[in-house]
Every structure is written in C-alpha cells, then in structure tokens.
Structure 1
Amino acid sequence: MSVLLSCEQGGQSIPPELSFREDLEIPAVCHDPASEVAGELSRLLRVPLIQNKHASSLIDVRLSSHHRDLFGKQTRKWKPDDRQRLLDTIYFPYREKVRSAISHQLSRQPYVVHLSVQTFGLRSKSGKIRRTDVGLSYDPSHDDEVDFCLDLIDEMYDAAPMLRVRRNYPRRGSSDSITKSMRSEFRNQPYIGIELMLNRAWSERKTALRAEAIRGITLAISQIVNITAVANAA
C-alpha cells in the first residue's frame, strides 16, 4: 500500500501566461496553512506530495470543471477566452499531475491511498464554532474508504489524543472534490481517496502543539499503511 499526498490550497503565485491581466490581485489574507502541513506530512511520511502553487482565488482546482464556484470572484467576470486560459494553465495541468501520480503508483503498488490535505475555518458560514480538529471526508458507499477512516480514527485516538476527529465533516466525501473525481476515474481499481481536513484554529499556529498533532497524524497513517516515518516534526 502506498500513499500520495496532494494539497490544492495555499498557493500564491500567478502564472506568467496571465500577466496580461494587470488588474489581477491576490488577496493578502488568503494564506492557508494546508500547504505547510502537507509539506511536513510528506517529509515525515517520506511520501510524494503534489502541490498547487497557484492561488485558489483564481481557480479552485479541487472542484470539477462544471462547478459554479470553480472561478474566483474576480475571474468569474472574465471573458470566456480568459477563463479558458486559467483552465489551460492551472486547472488541467494540476489535475493531470494528480492523475498521473495515482496511475504511476497503481502500476507498482497493490493499493493507493490519496490524501488531499485541506483546512477549514473555526466558524461555519452561519457563525457556529466548529469544535472538530480533524475531519475525514470519504465516500460512505466505498467500503475500503470507510474501513480506512475507521482504522485511522482508532490509530489517532492513541497517537494524537488531543485531536477531536470526526467523519465526513465539515463536508461529506461524496461532495464535489478532487478525490471524488479521481475516485470516478479510477473506478474498480484499488484507489482510496480521502480529504484530510484540518481546523485552522490549530493548524495555522506554529506551536509545539501543532508539531505534536502533526507527529500524531503521521504515526497514525504510518501504522495503517505500514511505512516507517521520520521521528521528528519541525
């Protein structure tokens, strides 16, 4: 069994192909700790990580190409030709990287676990406080994904007891996502696609508690997939 990490959030760059848009701005507040945590998990687990380096305020590579929220507030107002440039320079290349990595691992391993590392806010849109620290979003109709998440929760109970873990929260794994798309593309193949959702209340703070939590998540994953992880988190 092999592990592939991906991170669709946290990028800040703008492709050179979009330099013609002089009005394009990346919000200064769009920093997301998902890319940092994903990088640390990749280092500790010693597994590959595919990261989207471009700002999700341009285009959200997590979503399917027909989703109404695919484009950001600025870019959804662009002309069709300009939006197509976003698809051609960011969306399709990133999706192909993930797809190729999964296909490559499937050709060499009996099972591939794809963890899409993401974050969510402390408060919901309605203002309600989310008291969950880690959410595992998966397809409940996929038995292997159910079993994997149940095993991961058991392992995290021992390895990271400070974290409150909840299944299919704050969103269901059957919702539109990159793991849902890959699950469809690799149907009837030994592929498991899980969204590893982290509350920004703890994941954005570079504290000893965050390092301990990342170590715990690393240990829990390594126990299930039977790989040797690096001992220390930064």
Structure 2
Amino acid sequence: MSQDKRKVLITCEHGGNDVPPEFNAAFDGAEEALASHRGYDIGALDLFKAFAQSSSADASFSSTTSRLLVELNRSRHHPKLFSEFTHPLPEEEKRKIVTHYYAPYREQVEEQINDWIQGGFHVLHLSVHSFTPVLDGDKRKADIGLLYNPSREREQLFASKWRQEISRLNSDYKVRYNYPYKGTSDGFVTLLRRKHAAEEYAGLELEVNQKFAMGNAEEWKNLQTVLVSSFEKSL
C-alpha cells in the first residue's frame, strides 16, 4: 500500500460512560456498572487521543456515550445492542437512542471512509479498545491484542509487522493476535469489511489490558508511547 494513497483513521467506540440526562432514570442504581469495564473501555480514550494526535492520523472519531446506553461496536440488530438497563425501554425510546446516539457516530465514520475511497485512497482503520484483566474469574493472558481478519492479507501483514515493532521497542509486552476476542466477531470493523473490498479498506482493532490504565501512571504512559511509535513505524 503506497503511503501517498493511504489514509489512516483512528476511532474509539467506548471512550466514556456518559448517559444523557433524559435516560438517567433507566440507570438509577447503576453507578457501579457505569464506572466499571461494563460501562466503558477504561483507558481507551487516553490511548485514542495519543493515536489521534500523532502524525500518522488523517482523521479520528470517538464517542464517550456509555456502551450500557447503546453498544456502538455492535450491529444494528445485534441482541446485545441494548444493555439490561435500556433493553426494557419502550421501542420509541430505543429508536430515539439509535437515532441520536448510535447512528450519528457510525455514519460520520462511514462517510469519511467512503469519501476517501471515492477519492482513490486506501484506508487503514484502527479501532481502539481495552479489556478487563479478569472476566468471570478468568485472568486474561495478554497485555496487548491485535484483532484482524486472517483472510484479508493486508490486515494480517500489518498486524504481523506491528507486533514485531512493539517487541523491538519493548519485548516484555505479551502481544497476542485475535485475543481476547476474534477479529471476525460482530463489530463496526467487521461491518466495514463487508462494505469495502480488501484493497480499499483494512481494519484492525487494538485491545489493551486495562491493568495499565488502572496501574502505574508512568508505565501506562510508556505503553501508549510504544504503541503509537510502533504503529507509525509499521505504516
């Protein structure tokens, strides 16, 4: 992929745990859930900003709406689009959530990608996420996850190169492919792959262990620096 014909897009779907005031009643007593990894991707917004402010980013979009209001990284008809707090709401209220908080975010990302592709550019899309260190009693065995579709060569090659660059800068980080989730699972990137040919669009999801964001500030900053620097060197 020639650099002069490539555009780099950075997104963050779970940057915060904001709930619009009009839906506060649905979250009465849900403060603990909202503050946890269930409410948002802890540390993801910090990491997103580091990528978005780097010289490699051509455009960036983020949302701080809680995933417990609506799951921006799920397809429109996914059974977990709404959480246990919003699923019981009347259909009219759920349509309002989709109209005002789900669709606008995804549409602006899709419009940017479409504009670039129509302009003759290739798009490299990085979706920034984080994962809880322990889920349902199981300790996650990775520091960094690079998610991609193995059947799309550009994604596979970029993930491989990025992993090498991360290890070159700091070999202590444990980097795994398609972990703790499969790169082909339902998500925004997966949808975009279906809409665009492999030569037009390559999408990767970055998953970072939340133990860094919740731990030592200097180690967290160092990890961000390594990830951004290694990403730039991989382009």
- TM above 0.5, one fold? yes
| Contact persistence 2:8–2:56 (CA under 8 A) | no
Task: Give, in whole Å, the separation in 2 of the partners of 1:45 and 1:118.
Answer: 20
Contact 1:118–1:197 (CA<8 Å) still a contact in 2? yes
Q: Is the Cα contact below 8 Å between 1:45 and 1:218 reproduced in 2?
A: no
Aligned residues: 221
Question: Does residue 7 of structure 1 match 2:12?
Answer: yes
Mapping of residues 1-234 of structure 1, within 5 Å: 1-15=6-20, 19=22, 21=23, 23-25=25-27, 27=31, 28-29=34-35, 30=39, 32-45=42-55, 47=57, 48-108=59-119, 110-125=121-136, 127-205=137-215, 207-225=217-235
Q: Tell me by how many angstroms 1:206 deviates.
A: 5.6
Q: CA deviation at 1:24?
A: 3.0
**Matches of 2:54 and 2:198, distance apart in 1:** 30
Q: CA RMSD for the aligned pairs?
A: 1.9
Distance 2:63 2:162 in 1: 26
After alignment, is 69-78 or 36-45 more displaced?
36-45
SS in 2 for 1:96: helix
Distance in 2 between residues matched to 1:72 and 1:210, nearest whole Å: 30
Conserved in 2, the CA contact under 8 Å of 1:134 and 1:196?
Answer: yes
Aligned partner letter, 1:131: K
Residue 188 of structure 1: how far off its partner (Å): 4.7
Counterpart residue identity of residue 53, structure 2 = R
Cα distance in 1 between the residues matched to 2:170 and 2:110: 31
Unaligned runs of 5+ in 2: 1-5
Cα gap change, 1:13/1:121 in structure 2, threshold over 3 Å: closer, same or farther?
Answer: closer
Letter in 1 for 2:129: Q
Question: How far apart are the structure 1 equivalents of 2:115 and 2:9?
Answer: 11
The secondary structure found in structure 1 opposite 2:139 is coil
Using structure 1 for the length normalisation, give the TM-score. Answer: 0.87
Quick one: structure 1 residues 146 and 22, their matched pair in 2 at CA, closer, same or farther if it must change by over 3 Å? closer
Counterpart residue type for residue 58 of structure 1: L
TM-score in terms of structure 2 length:
0.87
Unpaired runs of at least 5, structure 1:
226-234
8 Å Cα contact 1:162/1:213 also seen in 2: no
Alpha-carbon distance in structure 2 between the residues aligned to 1:217 and 1:192: 18
Q: Check the 8 A contact 2:54/2:228 in 1, yes or no.
A: yes
